[in-house]
């Protein structure tokens, strides 16, 4: 068998391939573009395109596509073939630098939130040379950004790249102040841990709700659930193991550093974590990972569910966004150092993040808001919807000592002077595993845990990068003007801790007392749903910050607000329609049929002997008939609710109607249907149950 190192990255036009297939001049010029963002010369682009095509064709590719991430959440591709007719009647394989750099897909089928008038339906895609091209099937995929002709971003990559640039610019200003003149750039890095469920494909096909919406809309709780906790880190079942093996191979061929795999909390739930990489690459890789996870599952007779809440009452799926900042030389800026100088720099970056998260709690919450994720946040399994930061006791104590000019170490009794004294050592292990915190410091990185499993990680990282860039900008403005750098630094860190310590919380985020304290005492935000938080995207402070760092224009923000709210309403409306469909065509007929069979069984008994009471049958038939009436009533109510929600033409009003009317009406229909499921004989029930789905893969 081939070793992993022999095929790792074999489908990627990576540095090794570039070095081997490009002239030194072209390679160096491309490298400069990749590393320093230098502009790409068309002759270089032509040479790269040619080498890319040769390599792709040699690896079986016949087509190429500009691969991009429209605002719908999935990825999009428009395939063009390399083939071009030659004068002798044959064909030659062609691909020019122009085609590599820029594509022109018909943009009209992608949502733009009003950014693109229909008379100018075209947009263009532009190559992101920092993310390597790769082959998928028979297609060379070129990671690209997607913009309207006016330059407005129509995708998730463009603002992500802009946010990285914003952070780079401000972080460099800070590093220069610390005397770091060699650093060329600062990049953010991300390692997203991806949770998912695997269910049997045949059972999946038998459930309309899973097929149409990705989650179950009905389903009684199985007799055994998470209380049987042998699943977590337990033995991986053979079918799942075979799946994971093939998944790893496919990801490795694409140069994706998939590393760990273990069972998650819920039955049938699993996790995959890659080794971290630069944010835009990590984002591309995560999109690709989600796609490949689903594809490989089908080959194994499985379906991979990426929905945040496929099963009510069972742990949902999220994505942990491990995030840090590093210099081009590889120095992690969130890693505490060994010298006083390094420590002070670490603390400044640390408080910059603390300030950013506090100032822009709303943007972070907004960045993870979807109909699916609303089912998790605040549901005692995922972080609360309230954003707070976990630092661990030791680091909290250090910050507390700095804030109050108190000695940190009770033994030495000396007050630490930043930039002069060494920071007391704190062990990584004490940055404990508080799973309830939405934003946790884990030794040398922060882990943002509120992301939903199906979310693109772009949105969260755009907001995080931009918010931190803003803290750093304010810090740099102050420090650049200071006469005594160390004194100004000390005061700045101290004051920042003082101003933002309200966001720090090491306790249990699931505790009801926390919700009370956070909102009533500390004044933290608690936006429980998408409809609650999204409108705040356009709050003046948010518009000012995001536009001043050129991450978004105000028009782009408004378009994203509209698209996100439209998606929210659309998603829930589809769910509601699926429910009424299942209720009318599957559940009610099943309940009626079973009740009829019970009634005729009773009749049959009575015809043998009129004195037989048939109490069991009679009671059950009565109960089922009442339930059927309720189900029918609630179904009608839900149909009405859909009509009224649809009638709303303002996106915000519509989202509020979804929250206040549609979702509660759906819950009201589900309850009697689930009750009926528990009463109806197995062979009458029209689709696989929770028990079948959750324990069906061996
Ligand atoms: P755990 O969360 O189980 O302690 P690790 O700390 O090893 O696991 O890492 C979890 C994820 O964080 C992995 O995807 C890892 O690659 C990523 N990670 C580690 N260091 C960094 C960093 N400096 N920046 C971004 N992600 C990181
Ligand atoms: Mg983790």
Task: Compute the distance from residue 185 Cα to the ligand 2 centre, in Å.
Answer: 27
How many CA atoms does the CB half-sphere of 581 hold within 13 Å?
12
Output the six-digit token pair for 333: 């800026």
| pLDDT per position as a tens digit, 90-135 | 888 889 988 888 887 766 677 777 665 544 556 788 899 999 999 9
pLDDT band per the 50, 70, 90 thresholds, residue 413: low
* Residue whose CA lies nearest to ligand 1 atom number 6: 442
* Residue whose CA lies nearest to ligand 1 atom number 14: 191
Task: Compute the distance from residue 54 Cα to the ligand 1 centre, in Å.
Answer: 36
3-state percent helix, strand, coil for the chain, nearest multiple of 5: 50, 15, 35
**What pLDDT, on the 0 to 100 scale, is given for residue 418?**
63
Residue 183 domain-assigned (yes or no):
yes
Cα separation values, 690 from 68, 219, 675, Å: 36, 6, 14
Q: Which of residues 599 and 341 earns the better pLDDT score?
A: 599
What is the C-alpha to C-alpha distance for residues 166 and 550, in angstroms, rounded to an integer?
8
Residues 574 and 536 reside in one and the same domain: no
Q: Write down the pTM of the prediction.
A: 0.94
Averaged over 543-555, what is the pLDDT?
A: 97
Query: If we measure between CA atoms, which residue out of 481, 464, 482 comes closest to residue 549?
Result: 464
Residues 139 and 263 reside in one and the same domain: no
Residues 252 and 334 reside in one and the same domain: yes
Residues 247/248/251/253 CA torsion (nearest 10 deg): -120
Output the six-digit token pair for 195: 């949770």
Domain boundary among 111, 133, 155: 155
* Residue whose CA lies nearest to ligand 1 atom number 1: 442
| pLDDT per position as a tens digit, 342-401 | 788 999 999 999 999 999 999 999 999 999 999 999 787 888 999 999 998 888 988 998
Residues 149 and 180 reside in one and the same domain: no
**What pLDDT, on the 0 to 100 scale, is given for residue 290?**
96
Q: Which atom of ligand 1 is nearest to the CA of 447?
A: 12
- Residues having CB within 6 Å of any atom of ligand 1: 189-191, 193, 273-276, 322-324, 332, 442, 444-445
Q: Residue 453: CB partners within 8 Å, gap ≥ 6?
A: 194, 195, 196, 306, 307, 308, 316, 317, 318, 319
- Measured from the alpha carbon of residue 324, the closest ligand is 1
Residue 29 domain-assigned (yes or no):
yes
Query: If we measure between CA atoms, which residue out of 258, 228, 231, 264 comes closest to residue 245?
Result: 258
Output the six-digit token pair for 189: 């890095």
Neighbours of ion ligand 2 (CB under 5 A): 320
The percentage of the chain sitting over the pLDDT mark of 70, rounded to a whole number, equals 92
* Residue whose CA lies nearest to ligand 1 atom number 4: 442
* Residue whose CA lies nearest to ligand 1 atom number 23: 324
Residues 104 and 172 reside in one and the same domain: no
Averaged over 16-25, what is the pLDDT?
A: 94
The percentage of the chain sitting over the pLDDT mark of 90, rounded to a whole number, equals 73
Residues 638 and 490 reside in one and the same domain: no
- Measured from the alpha carbon of residue 281, the closest ligand is 1
**What pLDDT, on the 0 to 100 scale, is given for residue 4?**
86
* Substitution site in 285, 322, 335 for ligand 1 pocket (most atoms within 8 Å of beta carbon): 322
Q: For residues 694 and 267, is the Cβ–Cβ distance under 8 A?
A: yes
- Checking if the pLDDT of 520 tops 70, the result is yes
Residue 115 domain-assigned (yes or no):
yes
pLDDT band per the 50, 70, 90 thresholds, residue 600: very high
Task: Compute the distance from residue 279 Cα to the ligand 1 centre, in Å.
Answer: 13
* Substitution site in 233, 272, 273 for ligand 1 pocket (most atoms within 8 Å of beta carbon): 273
Residue 635 domain-assigned (yes or no):
yes
**What pLDDT, on the 0 to 100 scale, is given for residue 35?**
83
Helix (H) or strand (E) holding 224: none
Write the CATH number for 668. Answer: 1.20.120.1560
**What pLDDT, on the 0 to 100 scale, is given for residue 218?**
98
Task: Compute the distance from residue 498 Cα to the ligand 1 centre, in Å.
Answer: 29
pLDDT band per the 50, 70, 90 thresholds, residue 425: low
What is the C-alpha to C-alpha distance for residues 388 and 391, in angstroms, rounded to an integer?
10
N-terminal to C-terminal alpha carbon distance within the chain: 26
Residue 328 domain-assigned (yes or no):
yes
Residues 148 and 169 reside in one and the same domain: no
pLDDT band per the 50, 70, 90 thresholds, residue 188: very high
Range in 103-107, 177-181, 217-221, 415-419 the model is least confident about: 415-419
- Three-class DSSP category at 646: helix
**What pLDDT, on the 0 to 100 scale, is given for residue 423?**
59
Output the six-digit token pair for 539: 């709050």
Averaged over 637-653, what is the pLDDT?
A: 97
Averaged over 6-31, what is the pLDDT?
A: 94
How many CA atoms does the CB half-sphere of 564 hold within 13 Å?
28
Residues 576 and 548 reside in one and the same domain: no
Q: Which atom of ligand 1 is nearest to the CA of 335?
A: 23
Residues 100 and 244 reside in one and the same domain: no
Residues 356 and 384 reside in one and the same domain: yes
| pLDDT per position as a tens digit, 40-69 | 888 999 999 999 999 999 999 999 999 999
Q: Which atom of ligand 1 is nearest to the CA of 273?
A: 14
Averaged over 636-654, what is the pLDDT?
A: 97
Write the CATH number for 56. Answer: 3.10.20.70
Rg of the chain on CA atoms, in Å: 28
Q: What is the mean pLDDT of the chain?
A: 90
Task: Compute the distance from residue 447 Cα to the ligand 2 centre, in Å.
Answer: 7
**What pLDDT, on the 0 to 100 scale, is given for residue 583?**
98
Domain that residue 602 falls in = 567-694
Beta strand pairing call for 302-305 and 139-148: unpaired
Dihedrals φ, ψ of 681, to 5°?
Answer: -60, 145
**What pLDDT, on the 0 to 100 scale, is given for residue 433?**
63
Range in 107-116, 252-261, 606-615 the model is least confident about: 107-116
Q: Residue 504: CB partners within 8 Å, gap ≥ 6?
A: 354, 388, 389, 390, 391, 396, 399
* Residue whose CA lies nearest to ligand 1 atom number 22: 324
**What pLDDT, on the 0 to 100 scale, is given for residue 380?**
76
Residue 504 per-residue DSSP state: B
Q: For residues 216 and 313, is the Cβ–Cβ distance under 8 A?
A: no
Averaged over 419-440, what is the pLDDT?
A: 66
Q: Which of residues 99 and 588 earns the better pLDDT score?
A: 588
**What pLDDT, on the 0 to 100 scale, is given for residue 111?**
75
* Residue whose CA lies nearest to ligand 1 atom number 11: 191
- Checking if the pLDDT of 430 tops 70, the result is no
Domain boundary among 529, 552, 575: 552
**What pLDDT, on the 0 to 100 scale, is given for residue 119?**
46
Q: Which atom of ligand 1 is nearest to the CA of 276?
A: 16
The Cα angle at residue 144 between residues 138 and 148, in degrees rounded to 5: 125
Q: For residues 566 and 173, is the Cβ–Cβ distance under 8 A?
A: no
Task: Compute the distance from residue 193 Cα to the ligand 2 centre, in Å.
Answer: 7
- Checking if the pLDDT of 139 tops 50, the result is yes
79 beta partners: 65
Residue 220 domain-assigned (yes or no):
no
Q: Which atom of ligand 1 is nearest to the CA of 275?
A: 16
* Substitution site in 264, 271, 276 for ligand 1 pocket (most atoms within 8 Å of beta carbon): 276
**Domain total in the chain:** 3
**What pLDDT, on the 0 to 100 scale, is given for residue 424?**
59
Residues 175 and 150 reside in one and the same domain: no
**What pLDDT, on the 0 to 100 scale, is given for residue 422?**
57
For the purposes of burial, counting CB atoms within 10 Å of the CB of 311, is it exposed (0-12), middle (13-18) or buried (19 or more)? buried
Q: Which atom of ligand 1 is nearest to the CA of 322?
A: 26
**What pLDDT, on the 0 to 100 scale, is given for residue 288?**
95
Write the CATH number for 288. Answer: 3.30.590.10
Output the six-digit token pair for 70: 């429209």
- Checking if the pLDDT of 553 tops 90, the result is yes
């Amino acid at each position: 068998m081939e070793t992993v190192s022999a095929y790792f990255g074999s489908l990627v036009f990576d540095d090794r391939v570039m070095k081997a297939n490009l002239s030194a001049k072209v390679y160096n010029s491309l490298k400069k573009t990749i590393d320093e963002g230098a502009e790409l010369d068309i002759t270089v682009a032509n040479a790269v395109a040619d080498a890319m095509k040769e390599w792709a064709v040699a690896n079986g590719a016949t087509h190429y596509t500009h691969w991009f991430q429209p605002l719908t959440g999935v990825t999009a591709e428009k395939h063009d073939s390399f083939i071009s007719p030659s004068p002798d009647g044959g064909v030659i394989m062609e691909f020019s630098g122009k085609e590599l750099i820029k594509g022109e897909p018909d943009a009209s089928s992608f949502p733009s939130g009003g950014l693109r008038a229909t008379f100018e339906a075209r947009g263009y895609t532009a190559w992101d040379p920092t993310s390597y091209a790769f082959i998928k099937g028979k297609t060379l995929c070129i990671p690209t950004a997607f913009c309207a002709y006016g330059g407005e971003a129509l995708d998730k990559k463009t603002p992500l790249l802009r946010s990285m640039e914003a952070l780079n610019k401000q972080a460099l200003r800070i590093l220069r102040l610390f005397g770091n003149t060699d650093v060329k750039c600062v990049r953010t890095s991300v390692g997203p841990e991806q949770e998912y469920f695997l269910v049997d494909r045949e059972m999946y096909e038998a459930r309309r709700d899973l097929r149409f919406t990705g989650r179950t809309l009905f389903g009684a709780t199985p007799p055994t659930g998470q209380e049987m906790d042998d699943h977590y880190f337990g033995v991986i079942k053979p079918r799942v193991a075979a799946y994971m093996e093939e998944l790893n191979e496919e990801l490795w061929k694409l140069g994706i550093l998939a590393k760990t795999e273990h069972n998650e909390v819920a039955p049938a739930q699993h996790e995959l974590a890659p080794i971290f990489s630069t944010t835009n690459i990590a984002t591309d890789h995560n999109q690709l990972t989600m796609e490949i996870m689903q594809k490989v599952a089908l080959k194994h007779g499985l379906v991979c569910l990426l929905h945040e809440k496929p099963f009510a009452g069972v742990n949902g799926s999220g994505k942990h966004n491990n995030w840090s900042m590093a210099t081009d030389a590889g120095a992690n800026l969130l890693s505490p150092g060994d010298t006083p100088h390094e420590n002070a720099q670490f603390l400044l970056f640390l408080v910059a993040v603390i300030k950013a998260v506090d100032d822009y709690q709303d943007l972070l919450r907004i960045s993870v808001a979807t109909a699916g994720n609303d089912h998790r946040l605040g549901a005692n399994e995922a972080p609360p919807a309230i954003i707070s930061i976990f630092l661990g006791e030791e680091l909290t104590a250090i910050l507390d000592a700095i804030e109050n000019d108190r000695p940190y170490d009770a033994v030495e009794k000396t007050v630490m002077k930043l930039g002069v004294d060494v920071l007391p050592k704190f062990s990584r292990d004490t940055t404990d595993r508080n799973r309830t915190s939405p934003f946790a410091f884990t030794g040398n990185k922060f882990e943002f845990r509120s992301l939903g499993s199906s979310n693109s990680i772009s949105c969260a990282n755009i907001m995080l990068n931009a918010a931190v860039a803003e803290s750093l900008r304010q810090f740099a403005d102050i420090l650049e003007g200071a006469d005594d750098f160390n004194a100004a630094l000390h005061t700045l860190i101290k004051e920042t801790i003082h101003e933002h310590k309200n966001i720090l919380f090491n306790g249990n985020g699931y505790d009801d007392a926390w919700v009370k304290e956070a909102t009533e005492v500390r004044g933290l935000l608690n936006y429980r749903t998408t409809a609650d938080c999204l409108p705040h995207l356009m709050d003046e402070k948010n518009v000012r910050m995001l536009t001043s760092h050129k991450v978004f224009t105000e028009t782009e923000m408004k378009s994203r607000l509209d698209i996100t709210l439209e998606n929210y309403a659309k998603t829930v409306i589809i769910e509601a329609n699926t429910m009424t469909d299942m209720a009318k065509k599957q559940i009610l007929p099943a309940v009626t049929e079973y009740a009829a069979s019970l009634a005729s069984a009773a009749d049959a008994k009575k015809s043998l002997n009129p004195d037989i009471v048939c109490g069991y049958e009679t009671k059950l038939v009565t109960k089922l008939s009442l339930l059927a009436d309720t189900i029918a009533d609630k179904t009608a109510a839900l149909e009405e609710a859909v009509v009224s929600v649809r009638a709303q033409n303002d996106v915000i009003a519509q989202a509020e109607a979804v929250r206040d009317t549609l979702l509660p009406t759906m819950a009201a229909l589900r309850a009697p249907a689930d009750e009926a499921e528990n009463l109806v004989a197995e062979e009458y029930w029209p689709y696989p149950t929770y028990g079948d789905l959750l324990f069906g893969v061996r």
